[in-house]
Amino acid sequence: MYVNNGGRWHVYHNSVLIKGGSKTFGRGVYVTGFTNPTTEPNFGSHRILNNCVANMNGGLAVEVASGTVVTAPGYVTMNFNNWYSEGGNIGEYANVPYADLGAWQAATGFDGISVSANPKYNADDDLHANSIQVDTRGTLVGVATDIDGDVRCPGPGCPGGSFAPDLGADEFEVPPTDLTPGKVVSPTESGFGCNQSSLTPVVIRIENNGS
């Protein structure tokens, strides 16, 4: 998602998955060109909340570009998000990369109640999450239904009952026990090939996405 210039951007409840492209320039959310509300009073009040972003290609989950003014009071609210990068830096602020959520929070002041977890999307073209780490982690932003038309929590008939809304586009509920195949531990990627025998052991990590 490319958030550029303008005023009063409200970026709520988006699910993003990156599987390819450049590790150097790929990012899930790119924020640039905001105008300082102290000089442009019609601008500002940007809110980036309840988003679920996973970059599985080693690139950034989020970047705030150099020169983007974000320090004025009420200028940008960025929180209750999931920023996840598989094997790369989680974010970049003014051309400085930050390896994990803690470093990003300390340097930027953003995302104090955000998380960093693999959302366990169903498939590359099906961004329904399955991880308890992004379940009930959001905040109320006035979005009544999700991408499927289901009621957002909290609210009568929502999947999570009286809990907070989920991160991303889908409102869901994780069962207590939800076992799924995770990472192939062995053989390693370099060991795959036609030279494997029928007796080669295969070790797969089983993960419980539930509570």
Please tell me the distance from the alpha carbon of residue 201 to that of residue 196, in angstroms, as a whole number: 10
- The amino acid sitting at 37 is P
For position 17, what pLDDT does the model report?
Answer: 97
CB atoms within 10 A of CB 129: 27
Taking residues 25-32, report their average pLDDT. Answer: 84
Give the predicted TM-score (pTM) of the model.
Answer: 0.82
Q: For residue range 43-95, list pLDDT tens digits in order.
A: 666 789 999 999 999 999 999 886 665 555 557 789 999 999 998 899 999 88
CA-nearest of 128, 138, 143 to 178 is: 128
- The sign of the dihedral angle between the CA atoms of 167, 170, 173, 176 is negative
Give the separation between CA 122 and CA 178, rounded to whole angstroms.
Answer: 13
188-202 burial, b at 16+ Cβ within 10 Å, e below that, comes to: eeeeeeeeeeeeeee
Mean pLDDT of the chain: 83
What is the amino acid identity at position 196? Answer: Q
Q: What is the largest CA-CA distance in the chain?
A: 70
Which of the four pLDDT bands, split at 50, 70 and 90, describes residue 32? Answer: confident
Strand 91-93 with 60-64, pairing? parallel
How many other C-beta atoms can be found within 10 angstroms of the C-beta atom of residue 123? 8
